[in-house]
């Protein structure tokens, strides 16, 4: 009896579980184009409406992983990575990867581009002249073995079935399916041949998951799926009710990341979430026996300058300037117009509409309105005042970096509207909302 993709769609539409074999055959059809877009769209909608079991999610992630190249490593330490669901001023990957490399991890970090109002790690790295975010698999393996880390993009050989499925999800209102999000994220991470994965699920007004319940559901799905596929995985749910860094914008965030690695902590929250994520990686990888030991190891790597050296070596190995960390202003693009956004009254920053800050950066040209849009690496916001901080009337809440005066003035109005200044501030949101070590 011939196998029919429409039978898979029928079963899932009826809310019945799919076998591993059915899922593998369906993904094979996605990959070799023997299954049409209409059937893929129907499958995605059925999953969106009826959901999947943990076993189905694992099978889907593994099948999409196996649709392309699966990397293997022969290294003297654990192969690890981190995935963030995205936020504003979230450039944790830039200091995190070299910190972990300096502590004995090997980090082939597969990163993505900006999505909606959130910045993308690859867009930040593209602001470094010469940086090649798509090296050959052989070059990637050589750099990771030598330097300990390489932050790159997804090549066409990694999980190609995911690319086709995602493009159809994007136009069929099925992007928000937690089951499909889980399989999409994990297929790429599993293809990287990881031993350990740390998930950072953002929650708050600047995150895709705006409620704690949704964030926990996604984190739970990712942790159970990845562990079910054989990768040691934990998840942290972290706050995104304010920008994580003092800057938002590609070159500006790279400069702040370099400053952090050099020892200048501009945003305590950025540093604390970086350390919290790195601590969990070291514990999960067996490189520390306690959180205290892991944190000391990380601080030693930071204070000694070893993490900074790893970042510098990674940039040079991927084609960037050898002296970027010594002279970032020489290489990173600067905007034509820089103006302050002045506080209208004295008081305390009570809250920030973080999503609006992200959209402001996009409107300046620091993100994409359409997939084909080119990004201006020089634009964005810097010196952002954060909740709980006092500000005097006329003092800058932020600096706008723009390509022309009109865009600068429009952005300044948007930033001002995003801030709430009061006499007293509400209690701050906890930075680390929850840790998931196992599926709940």
Question: What is the band of 170 on the pLDDT scale with cuts at 50, 70, 90?
Answer: confident
Which of 34, 51, 68 is where one domain is finished?
51
What is the share, in percent, of the chain residues with pLDDT greater than 70?
98
Closest by CA position to 241, among listed 211, 221, 264, 217: 211
pLDDT of residue 3: 82
Are 315 and 338 within one domain?
no
Q: How many CA atoms lie within 13 A of 222 on its CB side?
A: 34
The answer to whether residue 68 is domain-embedded is: no
Distance of CA 96 to the CA centre of its chain: 12
Are 219 and 94 within one domain?
yes
Are 354 and 323 within one domain?
no
**80-84 and 196-203: which strand pairing?**
parallel
- Residue 81 designated active-site: yes
> What is the C-alpha to C-alpha distance for residues 382 and 122, in angstroms, rounded to an integer?
19
Higher pLDDT, 23 or 207: 23
Question: What is the band of 63 on the pLDDT scale with cuts at 50, 70, 90?
Answer: very high
Q: Rounded to the nearest 10 degrees, how much is the dihedral formed by the CA atoms of 126, 332, 303, 288?
A: -10
- Does pLDDT of 16 surpass 80? yes
> What is the C-alpha to C-alpha distance for residues 47 and 26, in angstroms, rounded to an integer?
13
- Residue 247 designated active-site: no
The answer to whether residue 74 is domain-embedded is: no
Q: Which of 121, 247, 267, 378 is catalytic?
A: 121
- Does pLDDT of 384 surpass 60? yes
pLDDT of residue 371: 64
- Residue 84 designated active-site: yes
> What is the C-alpha to C-alpha distance for residues 68 and 88, in angstroms, rounded to an integer?
32
pLDDT of residue 167: 82
Q: Which of 22, 57, 66, 84 is catalytic?
A: 84
Residues 6+ apart with CB under 8 A from 75: 106, 144, 145
The answer to whether residue 403 is domain-embedded is: yes
Q: What is the pLDDT of residues 183-209, one digit of tens each?
A: 999 999 999 999 999 999 999 998 888
**Secondary element (H or E) of residue 221:** helix 212-228
Q: Which of 184, 187, 274, 382 is catalytic?
A: 184
- Residue 407 designated active-site: no
Residues 12, 50 contacting (CB under 8 angstroms)? yes
Tokens standing for 133?
């975010």
pLDDT of residue 440: 45
Least confident of 9-13, 146-150, 153-157: 153-157
Domain count, the chain: 3
Are 21 and 109 within one domain?
no
- Residue 121 designated active-site: yes
Q: Report the CATH number that the domain containing residue 101 is assigned in CATH.
A: 3.40.1030.10
- Residue 184 designated active-site: yes
Range of the domain at 356: 333-422
Rounded to two decimals, the pTM is: 0.92
- Does pLDDT of 50 surpass 60? yes
Question: 180: buried, middle or exposed (CB in 10 Å: 19+, 13-18, 0-12)?
Answer: buried
Q: Which of 82, 124, 313, 355 is catalytic?
A: 82
Interval 279-304 mean pLDDT: 97
Are 274 and 352 within one domain?
no
Q: What is the pLDDT of residues 89-138, one digit of tens each?
A: 999 999 999 999 999 999 999 887 766 677 788 899 999 999 999 999 89
pLDDT of residue 75: 97
Q: Which of 22, 66, 81, 90 is catalytic?
A: 81
Q: Report the CATH number that the domain containing residue 372 is assigned in CATH.
A: 3.90.1170.30
Q: Report the CATH number that the domain containing residue 17 is assigned in CATH.
A: 1.20.970.10
Q: Which of 65, 164, 169, 246 is catalytic?
A: 169
Closest by CA position to 222, among listed 208, 249, 201: 201
């Amino acid at each position: 009896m011939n196998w029919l993709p429409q039978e898979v769609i029928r079963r899932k539409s009826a809310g019945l579980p799919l076998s591993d074999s059915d899922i593998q055959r369906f993904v094979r059809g996605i990959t070799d184009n023997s299954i049409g877009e209409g059937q893929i769209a129907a499958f995605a909608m059925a999953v969106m409406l009826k959901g999947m079991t943990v076993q189905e999610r694992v099978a889907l992630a593994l099948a999409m992983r196996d649709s392309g190249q699966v990397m293997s490593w022969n290294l003297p330490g654990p192969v690890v990575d981190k995935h963030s669901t995205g936020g504003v001023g979230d450039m944790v990957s830039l200091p995190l990867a070299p910190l972990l490399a300096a502590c004995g991890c090997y980090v082939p970090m597969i990163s993505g581009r900006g999505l909606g109002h959130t910045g993308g790690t690859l867009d930040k790295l593209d602001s470094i002249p010469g940086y090649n975010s798509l090296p050959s698999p052989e070059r990637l393996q050589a750099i990771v073995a030598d330097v300990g880390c390489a932050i790159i993009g997804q090549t066409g050989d990694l999980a190609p079935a995911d690319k086709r499925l995602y493009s159809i999800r994007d136009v069929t209102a099925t992007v928000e399916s937690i089951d499909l999000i889980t399989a999409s994220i994990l297929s790429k991470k599993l293809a990287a041949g990881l031993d350990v994965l740390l998930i950072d699920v953002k929650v708050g007004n600047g995150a895709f998951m705006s409620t704690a319940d949704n964030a926990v559901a996604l984190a739970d799905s990712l942790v159970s799926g990845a562990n079910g596929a054989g990768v040691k995985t934990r998840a942290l749910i972290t706050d995104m009710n304010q920008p994580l860094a003092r800057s938002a914008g590609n070159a500006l965030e790279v400069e702040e990341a370099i400053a952090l690695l050099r020892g200048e902590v501009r945003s305590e929250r950025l540093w604390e979430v970086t350390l919290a994520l790195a601590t969990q990686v070291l514990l999960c990888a067996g490189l520390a026996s306690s959180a205290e030991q892991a944190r000391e190891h990380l601080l030693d790597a930071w204070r000694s300058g070893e993490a900074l050296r790893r970042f510098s070596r990674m940039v040079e190995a991927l084609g960037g300037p050898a002296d970027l960390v010594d002279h970032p202003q020489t290489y990173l693009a600067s905007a034509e117009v820089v103006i302050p956004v002045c506080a209208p009254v004295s008081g305390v920053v009570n809250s920030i509409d973080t999503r609006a800050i992200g959209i402001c950066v996009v409107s300046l040209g620091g993100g994409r309105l359409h997939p084909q849009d080119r990004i201006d690496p020089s634009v964005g916001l810097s010196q952002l005042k954060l909740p709980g901080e006092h500000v005097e009337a006329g003092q800058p809440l932020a600096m706008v970096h723009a390509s022309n005066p009109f865009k600068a003035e429009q952005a300044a109005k948007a930033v001002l509207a995003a801030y709430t200044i009061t006499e007293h501030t509400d209690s701050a949101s906890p930075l680390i909302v929850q840790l998931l070590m196992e599926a709940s």
